[in-house]
Structure 1
Amino acid sequence: MASSATISSPQPEAEAGPAKVHASQVSSIKVFAESNGASLIPSTYHSITDLHHDDATHDLAPSIPVIDFSLLTSHHHHVKALHQLGMACANWGFFMLTNHGIPENLMEELMNKSHEFHDLPMEEKKEFADNDPLSPIRHGTSFCPQAENVHYWRDYLKTLTFPQFNFPHKPPGYSRYCREVAYDYSHKIRAVARKLLEGISESLGLESNSIIESTGFDSGLQLFVVNLYPPCPQPHLALGMPSHSDLGLLTLLMQNGIGGLQVKHDGKWVNINPLPNCLIVLLGDQLEVLSNGKYPSVLHRAILNNADTRISVVLSNGPALDKEIGPVVELLDKEKPLFKSMKYRDYFQVKQKTRLSDKCSLDEIRLHAQQ
């Protein structure tokens, strides 16, 4: 597994690059990067303003939590695994998941095919232009250009794969096979996420089916995202994605061996170098709400490099759209609620239409009792 990229010190600039590039002028950062070559990046992509404050620490890497899924599902080791799961959720908000049972060849096949959609000509992808957060298939760049002052060095394909499965019908000859691979993978990920949520419920002292039932998970929304981060000529100035938390309950991520994921822990950024064939599990905002703050969603970001294209395949597993999500009632016997309840559909649309900035969407539903 390749090591994570790092934010290097700024290099001297020989000449001024393009000052402003409006979001409407860039429909694909991949196309823009290939046409721009090694030129300096536009100032509208300068998303790193403090070049030294957020340098990643390497000291915490050995303490990154690893959860063995096979132990969690084992009768003999279940209690110990539950304790480890609860500690990972409370202290880190994320963990590496090993022995998850998803075939390695399926993961490799999906990763190998994930690049091909992004290689299509822009004319072929225009029909999937991102116009609405609940469109079943969306292609775009950055995160939400119309809401951003600064843009991000990323293209994405987003599809809704549950409760109805959607996937692009292009390119011809490839799409049917890729749809089958994506369908198989997305269903296996849901099964893993469901079992993790049962364990998380138990670790909170709840019945194993508590979170599943209170969120309508079995008819919940699954968002399938393929992120593409092309090489950036000035990776010390730009980000692939800024510091943010995810919506939903659990995000399960794999990448193509090119480092770039960082999580924030105890105020420091930590490079994440996944173990072979593991999944990265990130806790989402709705899990923080349900647990009444006991299991916080994790801040994370994507940094860049100037040599390799990074691809991540990300599946966000959330509640049913029409479910009202608030702190689990059983947890409020001895404590006050820290969050207002909100229908997941509303939270989803708000978060997909606004500028990413740490936990700004979650902060909107925090109650004053927490402050």
Structure 2
Amino acid sequence: MDKLLSNGFSDGPLPEGYVFPPELRPGDLKIPLGTKIPVIDLNEAQNGDRTNTAHKIIKAAEEFGFFQVINHGISENEMKEAVSVFKELFEMPAEEKQKLCTDDPSKTCKMFTSSVNYATEKVHLWRDNFRHPCHPLEQWQHLWPEKPNTYRECVGSFSVQVKNLASRILSLISEGLGLKSGYFENDLTGSMVLSINHYPPCPEPSLALGITKHADPNLITILLLDDVCGLQVLKDGNWISVEPIPNAFVINIGYQLQIISNGKLISAEHRAVTNSCATRTSAAFFIAPSDECIIEPAEAITDEHHPPIFKSFKYKDFNSYYFAKYGDTNKVLKAFEAQS
């Protein structure tokens, strides 16, 4: 428990265990403003122009693998309440957080510093994390923490709304790809896990990372940010800083959508950097297939002129390989390419 950064960090230099090797350090954090990930107004689809909205989403997913959505139907108050309870979670007394920390791999609801591999990893991430499944809600909600007092009710209601938002976005993606209606309304979206990241101020941000460069293994991620910058996306070899937009969600494409789209959509690499003055909190809802779900390029997208570039596999097998090779995008995707 003394490892949790949210319990307070004594003044001084960055502990050696958090210093990344030179080739992985973020270095100069002042990324020039320029290219921005697309912002998509979902009101347009609501008002009847679904085709144009679907086209914009597909274009963003092809070029960036990321986009932000506004006018998505979840109220400003509900978003603020969720961010507030996520922050409150890490501000609880140490003894309350102790109840959420466990080394038991069978526990699905847990808090930890850096990663679940803290004891064996070479360098630690400058973050605390709390995660748990949240779909189907009735299967998991009773396992969530009883404190903060509003956690179960607030996060339960919010997670249902996020799952519905994901369904709306995936419906637009399926239309944009030319897939049948309801393509993703099955085992392809059978799981949803919430991962809350808490990044306290870091004494030397240029030497540390909140999360290393990676792409997400799931289908699609719905990300709720507070108003502190820290998320960066890799595009054409350069890092883009994602500016938080009030009342927006950041959406990113996971590997499974890249595979189902036969490489048309991209799962972009991204990372989280730290800062020396402000605490940052983000909440990622990972929408994923069920473990036994078979993943493969959609038949409607492939033909003799566009053969499948990925083979068929079970999602759980992909996940196992992904976490064994974490951070090495090329190796992960190569292992699941179709034999030429």
* Fold shared per TM-score above 0.5: yes
TM-score, normalised via structure 1 length? 0.82
The whole-number CA distance in structure 1 between the counterparts of 2:323 and 2:105 is 6
Which residue in the other structure is 1:36 paired with?
A: 10
| 2:84 corresponding residue in structure 1 | 112
Aligned counterpart, 1:269: 239
Q: Is the deviation greater in 39-48 or in 315-324?
A: 39-48
CA deviation after TM superposition for structure 1 residue 56, in Å: 2.9
Alignment match, 2:64: 92
Q: Quick one: distance in 2 between partners of 1:54 and 1:112?
A: 27
Q: Are residues 363 and 233 of structure 1, via their aligned partners in 2, closer, same or farther at CA, if it must alter by over 3 Å? A: farther
C-alpha deviation, 1:265, in angstroms:
1.1
**How many angstroms apart in 2 are the aligned matches of 1:368 and 1:123?**
53
Match in the other structure for 1:73? 46
Aligned length: 333
1:225 to 164, 173, 195: 195
Match of 2:34 in 1: 59
**CA–CA distance in structure 2, aligned partners of residues 360 and 105 of structure 1:** 42
2:150 is the counterpart of 1:195: no
Tell whether the 8 Å contact from 2:220 to 2:286 is kept in structure 1 after alignment: yes
**SS where residue 235 of structure 1 aligns?**
coil
Counterpart among 310, 319, 326 of residue 339 in structure 1: 310
Note the C-alpha offset of 1:115: 1.8
SS in 2 for 1:227: strand
1:239 to 196, 209, 212: 209
Cα shift readout 1:174-229 (whole Å, capped 9, x = no counterpart): 33x2211101110111111011111111111212322334x442xx1101111100
Aligned residue for 1:211, secondary structure, equals coil
Unaligned runs of 5+ in 1: 1-24
Q: Cα RMSD over matched residues?
A: 2.4
For residue 3 of structure 1, what is the aligned residue in structure 2? Answer: none
- Stretches of structure 2 lacking an aligned partner (at least 5 in a row): none
User: Using a 3 Å threshold, how does the CA distance of structure 1 residues 355 and 82 change in structure 2: closer, same or farther?
Assistant: closer
* 1:245-264 equivalent positions in 2, closer than 5 A: 245-264=215-234
Cα distance in 2 for residues equivalent to 1:30 and 1:119: 7
Cα distance in 2 for partners of 1:363, 1:307 equals: 40
Structure 1 residues 276, 170: CA separation in 2 closer, same or farther (over 3 Å shift)? same
Aligned partners of 1:253 and 1:315 also within 8 Å = yes
Q: CA deviation at 1:156?
A: 0.5
Partner of 1:169: 145
Contact 1:247–1:316 (8 Å) recurs in 2: no
| CA spacing shift, 1:105–1:93, aligned 2, 3 Å | same
Asked whether the equivalents of residues 226 and 244 of structure 2 are also in contact (C-alpha less than 8 Å), the reply is no
Give the Cα–Cα distance (whole angstroms) in 2 for the partners of residues 365 and 78 of structure 1.
33
2:335 corresponding residue in structure 1: 364
2:205–2:273 contact (8 Å) kept in structure 1:
yes
Aligned to 1:185, which of 158, 166, 182? 158
Q: Give the conservation status (yes or no) of the 8 Å contact 2:178–2:300.
A: no
Q: 1:123 Cα deviation (Å)?
A: 4.0
**Residues 210-259 of structure 1 deviation map (CA, whole Å, 9 limit, x = unaligned):** 2334x442xx1101111100100000100100111112111111122111
Deviates more, 1:42-51 or 1:111-120: 42-51
**CA distance in structure 2 between the aligned counterparts of 1:27 and 1:210, rounded to whole angstroms:** 44
Q: Which secondary structure does the structure 2 equivalent of 1:330 belong to?
A: coil
Distance 1:136 1:356 in 2: 23
- Letter matched to residue 314 of structure 1: A
Partner deviation per Cα, 1:137-179 (whole Å, 9 max, x = no partner): 02111133355322110101101000233353332xx33x221
> What is the CA–CA distance in structure 2 between the aligned matches of 1:328 and 1:95, rounded to whole Å?
23
Structure 1 residue 360 displacement after superposition: 4.7
* Structure 1 SS opposite 2:57: helix
How has the CA–CA distance of structure 1 residues 302 and 52 changed in structure 2, closer, same or farther, with 3 Å as cutoff? Answer: closer
